[in-house]
Amino acid sequence: MRVIENYVNGEWVASKSTELLDVVNPATTEVMARVPLSTAEEVEMAIQAAKGAFSEWRETPPVTRARYLFRLRDLMEDEFEDLARIIVQEAGKCIDEARGEVRRAIENVEVAAGIPSLMMGYNAEDIAVGIDEECVRQPMGVFCCIPPFNFPFMVSLWFAPYAIACGNTYIVKPSEQVPLSQNRLFELIDQTDLPEGVINLVNGAKGVVDALLESPEVRGVSFVGSTAVARYIYSKGAANGKRVQAQAGAKNFLVVMPDADLERTVSALLTSFYGCAGERCLSGAVLLAVGDVYEPLRDKFVHAASRLQVGYGLDESVQMGPVISKKHMERVLGYIEKGLGEGAKLVLDGRGIKVDECPNGYFIGPTVFDEVAPQMAIANEEIFGPVASIIKTQDLNEAIEIIHANPYGNASSIFTTSGRWAREFKYRVRCGNIGINVGIVAPMAFFPFSGTKDSFFGDLHGQGRDAVDFFTEKKVVISRWF
């Protein structure tokens, strides 16, 4: 059985750890590889490699740093389909969802390659007689990221290309559940001839995370995952003097107004609630039906959801794959039971779905609860699975009150043909990513991936200019010549 290796100082290195975890295909339950839980000593090797590479890398001109990213971008394009297939096999996505993940990852590399312009500072002459002032951006040192299981390839590329483009060095700790696509990415990075130690890969779990958070050499950490872990990363990282950006959990509310175009709206809602089997922080969770739209919307949505084809994502006709693991499947099923216990009406039951070609896979079919009350657990807590809850509201004010009562603030959307309602929604709703007739509010690579309340801990978000600000510090120089 293949054992995944670490990538440190430009070389593939086998971990000496005897603790190994299985990497399981969630559709077939096949064990594809084993991943080591690297030791503290192995983490320190990566940190020292990154530290040792920093001085020379920061002196490398930005235009030269960008050329390595252009090479990586071309290699990723060449391996596009192979990368997508790996994502399907390790994470359970449908093939088109995996292709979308690879495309967005490539776009982040492309944006980061614009670093010669993005990193420019600013200046002013004669701030006083004969005195000039300038502000320049400078890299800081060693950074790291801890990406999640649900976007195993893309999320590290929200951060790493910007970090190294700015002149920092980097360490990636992939999710131990899905290390294969990151492993393949680093095989491509190795082909770019990037200088040794500039970027490193260390496999593992919490022990590796703690070693990174406790190291005085690591200047900052980027994280995407649950709110509980994000809060831990943020508090421990900040206590150790690090910059932290921690994207956390979500409970996203989608509002449908009485004037919405129902055919197009339902199509967008299906993608939002059931794309990636509901395992993404931008997925719809609660459907707020305003006024008279409630019954026709519910009926059309339930009918459309019941027709989705569930199966192994390598089949081009499949529209929804499995959830990530048996443990997570049991968690989602537990929430369905909890919803029933709370008195919600299960109008579409995804339990017990059969996929003939993958009889042991971790599949849950599209599930819909009606007659949901805002105080129910299924309406408030992050389920992270293909479960939709429908709540009827009298007007937009009531819908916004329900959104604001929830502790999360990642994303929210409104479906309407009214400019007035759309403007009121985007102006009032306290969420980081707002959609107007858009079900998945995924910012382009040159915009930040926002988030508020319990959905984000930190100040600067991933992607775009926020990433450049996060990975640099501003130095102000005031000069006078006698």
Let me know whether 244 and 272 are in one domain. Answer: no
CATH number at residue 316: 3.40.309.10
Let me know whether 137 and 237 are in one domain. Answer: yes
H-helix segments, 388-476: 396-405, 419-428, 464-470
CATH number at residue 46: 3.40.605.10
**The pLDDT of residue 479:** 97
**The pLDDT of residue 190:** 98
- Residue 173 and residue 331: Cα distance in Å, rounded? 25
- With beta carbons less than 8 A apart as the criterion, state whether 24 and 1 touch: no
Residue 1 included in any domain = no
Q: Map 248-292 to HEC letters.
A: CCCCEEEEECCCCCHHHHHHHHHHHHHHHHHCCCCCEEEEEEEHH
Let me know whether 52 and 119 are in one domain. Answer: yes
Q: Map 28-67 to HEC letters.
A: CCCEEEEEECCCHHHHHHHHHHHHHHHHHHHCCCHHHHHH
Confidence at 31, pLDDT banded by 50, 70, 90: very high
Question: Of 216, 272, 269, nearest to 47 (Cα)?
Answer: 216
Let me know whether 428 and 326 are in one domain. Answer: yes
Residue 190 included in any domain = yes
pLDDT tens digits, one per residue of 204-215: 999 999 999 999
Q: Quick one: average pLDDT of 437-452?
A: 96
Let me know whether 229 and 284 are in one domain. Answer: no
Domain hosting 366: range is 252-436
- Residue 196 and residue 92: Cα distance in Å, rounded? 33
Confidence at 440, pLDDT banded by 50, 70, 90: very high
List C-alpha distances in Å: 479 to 131, 375, 474: 6, 60, 16
Type of residue found at 136: V
Question: Of 123, 188, 128, 125, nearest to 161 (Cα)?
Answer: 188
Q: Quick one: average pLDDT of 108-137?
A: 94
Let me know whether 161 and 241 are in one domain. Answer: yes
Q: CB within 8 A of 360, min separation 6: which ones? A: 28, 29
**The pLDDT of residue 265:** 98
Does the pTM of the predicted model rise above 0.85? yes
pLDDT tens digits, one per residue of 406-418: 999 999 999 999 9
How many helices (H) and strands (E) would you count in the chain? 16, 22
- Residue 76 and residue 99: Cα distance in Å, rounded? 12
- Residue 425 and residue 432: Cα distance in Å, rounded? 13
- Residue 196 and residue 7: Cα distance in Å, rounded? 10
Let me know whether 330 and 213 are in one domain. Answer: no
Tokens of 364: 């849950």
**The pLDDT of residue 167:** 98
Confidence at 50, pLDDT banded by 50, 70, 90: very high
Let me know whether 14 and 149 are in one domain. Answer: yes
Confidence at 11, pLDDT banded by 50, 70, 90: very high
- Residue 445 and residue 461: Cα distance in Å, rounded? 12
- With beta carbons less than 8 A apart as the criterion, state whether 391 and 286 touch: yes
Residue 442 included in any domain = no
**The pLDDT of residue 307:** 97
HSE, side-chain direction, 13 A CA sphere, residue 166? 31
**DSSP reduced 3-state for 82:** helix
Q: Give the chain's mean pLDDT.
A: 97
- Residue 420 and residue 86: Cα distance in Å, rounded? 45
Considering the candidates 166, 281, 358, 431, report the single residue annotated as catalytic.
281
pLDDT tens digits, one per residue of 178-198: 999 999 999 999 999 999 999
Let me know whether 10 and 137 are in one domain. Answer: yes
Tokens of 204: 């593992």
Let me know whether 256 and 346 are in one domain. Answer: yes
Max CA pair span of the chain: 83
Is residue 166 annotated as part of the catalytic site, yes or no? no
Residue 445 included in any domain = no
Confidence at 469, pLDDT banded by 50, 70, 90: very high
Let me know whether 243 and 263 are in one domain. Answer: no
Q: Quick one: average pLDDT of 282-298?
A: 98
